Structure 1
Amino acid sequence: MSHFNIAKKVFWVLGAGILLGTTFSCNKQLDKAPTNQSSDENNWKTFDDVRAGLIGMYGLTRAAIADNNGHWLWGELRNGDFTSYNRPDLRAIISGNLTAGYPVIESVSNWRRFYAAINACNLFIENSAKALQDTRYTELNNRVDVAQARVIRAFLYFYMVRIWGDVPLITQSHEGSFREVARTSQERVLGFAQSEIAEAAPALPYSYGNDDPAMPGTVYYTSNNTFWRNTIFNKVSAYAVLAHITAWQGNYLETVAYTNFVLNNYQRIGVNYLSIDQLTGATGVFNNRGEGLTSNAQMLAFAFQSDRGEATVDGHIEQLTLAQPLVSKLRPDMYITKDSLASMFAPSGGFDMRFGLDTVGLNQGLPTLYRAKYITNYSDQIPIFSKIKAINGGVVSQNDFKVFTSAILFTRLEEITLLKAEALAALGSNNTEAYSLLNTIRSLRGLSTLSASGNSNLLDEIFKERRRELAGEGWRWYDLVRYNKIKRNDPAFNKLISEGGIYWPVAAEVMSRNSLIVQNPYWQD
């Protein structure tokens, strides 16, 4: 089958999911609406049918986290470092007013797109083996594909639990069934997600189309490793998700084990630590698949590749953060204030390459200079957060239609390194190694090393470094939750945790279509 015909099949998979997810809401089990795909025999007969289904799962997953820039609205804004002067809906999220009547808030409170993607995974798991009648499709190929589907589904459930807490756990497609399903405890959902990845990950290769022992051969679905790298789950990225599931559960012993696997094997998938230019450059790690770098760089990301017609307006932080002179927009929708920048990058030893003021020049009465890797136009009243700036074509747009190609980067090597340091510090079992991991990242960014003899608070320093290094990547809120679950020294945040206020309310549309869905108690009238 030609790439054109495969593309048409993928378009059908994605289009059906998005259309039904948007118009009717995604799943009859959840909100009394049609399912997003058909499991008809005709859709699972050939090698090409399964390839289309595989790509469709990833496309629907990307749509779920990118829609309305949800990845940043959920993970970056609440109690975070960004503020907004012209978007009352963003200000409502920042202040924690998640029941404010704004369309964007109602939209990102709705889990329908996640269940469209989950249903696609369920259908794939149940039906892909039917294509074994096509001699081009092998049992090994199917085993690897089903392992990916299981990992994607588990990742989606983990992602949802961080947002809503308890969510319905659905592991079978129920096309044509209108059965309603209640919410499942988050403990059970996370347990399912962890066991699914633990069982599926060993079947995954480190790389595809690269003669990996788990998937021999120089092509995967007729394409080589260059085509597939940084686009689909591999063994290392699957274990990275396991590390985060266990950290969210507070099972830090397991987090150490899973991060150990990642840190012992990351070179097998071609990633490495990033220089400041690789992190912030227009052709760096956030651009497409990080292909401007000598290494793959992206451990787990969801790319919008311009060469495959995937550049979009929505689903990129640049839509919210960039403005003149980088794009024609006069002011950004959100930005980090100078006070917040001063708090984030308060002098902590060394010369922080990401952002900092030239205090030496200031003390000598010279014009104040600043390091601009994260920030553009610091002298303006509203500085531009420009750490991520993958503009399609690499030039300033001269109209209001701005297209970007940045990937949604879920995790990278620096993030996993800091996660292991967090786990060790929380356990108090090996502070020497925790300091070493923290210092690995600090040294990369020009900061001096820390040690226990310096009377620094190790856990605080790790989370401060996560705040700096991962700014704009969708981690801030989740980091605050984990930090406060460990420290328990903030009465207001303790109240949020104990009363379930750390989770988002469920959209009214979801509850109106499924009588078994009950609102999170914290958000009940």
Structure 2
Amino acid sequence: MKPYNILFLFLIVLFTRCGKELDLPSRHQVPENNMWQQRNDARSGVFATYGLMRAALANENAFFAYGELRAGNFKASNRADIGAVTTQQLNANFSTLEEWKDWRRFYAVIAQANLCLQKLPQVLEKDFRYNEQNMKVDMASVRFLRALAYFYIVRIWGDAPLIADAVDGNFSGRSRDPQSKILDFVEQELTAASANLPWNYDGNQPEQIGIYYDQAGSFWLSCIASKAACYALLAHVYAWRGDYAACESNARLVYENTSLGKYTFTTASTLTAETGGVFSALGNGVIFSLTADSRYQESAAKGHLEDWTLSAPLVDKTVPEVYVPADSVLKIFNEPNDQRFAISLAGAVSGGYFQNFTNPVPMFSKIKARTFTQQPLFNNFQSAIVVTRYEDIVLLRAEALYYLNDLNNAMVYLNAVRTRRGLTEFNLQTGGNLLNAILKERQRELLGEGQRWFDLVRNRQAHLYSGLTTDQITRGAALWPLSKNTLANNAAVQQNSYWK
């Protein structure tokens, strides 16, 4: 069974008191005093945290709503709620917007992680099969997830309550902490987690010797926390804070340890493959993802980007809910021989990113991990949410080197991706602005993966693509408003100023 099978989302109530903390009704099926007694309880508690992280990002395709819809690439074909996000109308009256504006799902991850950190030592005391090494890896794993949840919260809402203990009762009176304090905490968590996590789970790492929870190393590759995942996320955190020296240092650790981490560059065909590729979490370029593998009953019709982006002939739908307009595609992919998407002078289209390009609403087909069940065929999807992969970090390192004024090496890492996608090498004499070239390559390579909006905000370019003015962004428009539910349940929390 994969680590965060949907079953764990039902089991979560066995391990946490976050129902009280989050104003959710408790649904205990086993008394809490019967939990945290043995090794399997530890495994269930840890991987329930992964399941909750997956739920937080998959719910109504939240990772895509936060990371892509406001950035100007994607448009809505027929859904007004999605259209409201693409036009920055985040206070529009739609139930889906209320879901996206509610940070409760991320706090469920945090509550479960806090509980694990409190209870795992108890399992160590009670079950001889659960050794100290196993506990250290598990605790590092949930600390990574807690850090990831807080990093999303900061980038989406800014200031927020920082809760690091498994508190009992209601935390409705907790006020917001400054995002700088939260980011300090995230850095500390990731640094601590990296010390106790292996590069991979082959059983030969000093941090993790032997078989991890009865599965071979290949089973865990890219789908749970590792040293590389910690360093990759740290690189993003430092870039968000503008500390590009620390960003480059952590990105370098990822870059220089590919043999230990067992990741590397991926081909364009693997990037867009329907099976066995990046979005099946099987591509060799994935560093950390949240999987939904049909072999372990994790696939579903909803909670996957394909539900919004695919149309005929891949699924029984005439028009997708979201798409990239043809003129935008041509602006993004404006260089010949790009293996991801190119159009010849004769009008022939190549590459796997788009299909039906001549239609008024082209299909974004980069991510298309379908699975079929029953007779007649019923479409389910099993795409992983790829949080970070190797090309992401290589290009982030190029960005860091640009800001550190090491332009020659910045070009080296930019071109490491460009040439693998069929493009010519960038050079300063003919290529124009280097930072814009790096960000455009990130736009092309990571399109649809939930990175673009954060790239624009981080580099102060959101006003160029979003329709927001620099004045609006200065007044806080880049953040999301808080949901009505959040405000109603916590009187100590005030609405983000721009959205009042």
> Which TM-score tier does this pair reach, normalised by the shorter chain?
over 0.9
Q: Secondary structure at the match of 2:460?
A: helix
Summarize deviations over 1:221-280 as a string: whole Å, max 9, x none: 122212222221011111101011111111111100110101011221211101110111
Q: Do structure 1's residue 354 and structure 2's residue 330 form an aligned pair?
A: no
Equivalence for 1:391: 370
After superposition, residues 145-294 of structure 1 pair within 5 angstroms as 145-177=138-170, 180-217=173-210, 219-290=211-282, 293=283
CA contact (8 A) 1:17 1:36 kept: no
Distance 1:16 1:98, change over 3 A: farther
Task: Indicate the RMSD between aligned Cα atoms, in angstroms.
Answer: 2.7
Contact kept? 1:325, 1:396, Cα under 8 Å: no
1:365 aligns with none
The yes-or-no answer on 1:407 pairing with 2:407 is no
Give me the TM-score of the superposition, normalised by structure 2. 0.93
Gaps of 5+ in 1: 21-25, 362-367
What percentage of residue pairs aligned between the two structures are identical? 35
Aligned with 1:74: secondary structure?
A: helix
Q: Secondary structure at the match of 1:479?
A: helix
Q: Is the 8 A contact 2:234 2:250 kept in 1?
A: yes
Give how far 1:381 is off.
Answer: 1.6
Equivalent runs, 1:335-484 vs 2, <5 Å: 335-347=323-335, 350-359=336-345, 361=346, 368-393=347-372, 402-428=379-405, 430-454=406-430, 456-484=432-460
Counterpart of 1:411 in 2: which secondary structure? strand
- Equivalent residue runs for 1:276-315 within 5 Å: 276-290=268-282, 293=283, 295=284, 297-315=285-303
How far is the alpha carbon of 1:82 from its aligned partner? 0.7
Counterpart of 2:11 in structure 1: which amino acid?
V
Shift in Å at residue 315 of structure 1?
2.2
Q: Give 1:10-89 correspondences, 5 Å limit.
A: 10=8, 12-14=10-12, 28-29=20-21, 32-33=23-24, 40-89=32-81
- Describe the superposition over 1:82-115 as per-residue Cα deviations: whole angstroms up to 9, x where unpaired: 1112011111000100000011111111011111
1:326 and 2:319 matched = no
Rate the CA distance shift 1:56–1:491 in 2: closer, same or farther, 3 A: closer
* One-letter amino acid matched to 2:341: F
C-alpha contact 1:327 1:397 (8 A) present in aligned 2? no
CA distances 1:99-153 after superposition (whole Å, capped 9, x unpaired): 0001111111101111111100000000111111211000111111111111110
Query: 1:112 & 1:66 partners in 2: Cα distance?
Result: 14
Aligned length: 497
Equivalent position SS for 2:380: coil
**Aligned partners of 1:110 and 1:507 also within 8 Å:** yes
For structure 1, which segment, 409-418 or 495-504, has the greater mean C-alpha deviation from structure 2 after superposition?
495-504
Question: Measured at CA, do residues 513 and 381 of structure 1 come closer, stay the same or move farther in structure 2, by a change above 3 Å?
Answer: same
Change (3 A) 1:93 1:138: same
**Would you say the 8 A contact 2:68–2:452 is kept in 1?**
yes
Deviations 1:456-488 (A, max 9, x none): 210010011111111111111111112216999
Distance 1:8 1:344 in 2: 37
User: What amino acid maps onto 2:305 in structure 1?
Assistant: I
Distance 1:482 1:11 in 2: 33
Contact 1:248–1:482 at 8 Å: present in 2 too?
Answer: yes
Distance 1:396 1:279 in 2: 28
Match of 2:471 among 484, 495, 517: 495
> 1:340-390, CA deviations, whole angstroms, 9 ceiling, x for partnerless residues?
01110123xx4111112111x3xxxxxx21114111111222111101100
CA distance in structure 2 between the partners assigned to 1:57 and 1:36 by the alignment:
17
Partner of 1:364: none
Q: Which moved more, 1:441-450 or 1:401-410?
A: 401-410
- For 1:473, the aligned partner's letter is E
Moved more, 119-128 or 376-385: 376-385
Q: Which 4+ residue blocks in structure 1 deviate beyond 4 angstroms?
A: 6-9, 15-18, 26-29, 31-39, 395-399, 485-493
Q: Which moved more, 1:103-112 or 1:8-17?
A: 8-17
Say if 1:79 and 1:96, in contact at 8 Å, map to a contact too.
no
Letter of the 2:214 counterpart: T
Instruction: Give the conservation status (yes or no) of the 8 Å contact 2:56–2:105.
Output: yes
- Specify whether residues 240 and 39 from structure 1 end up closer, same or farther in structure 2 by C-alpha distance, changes over 3 A only: farther
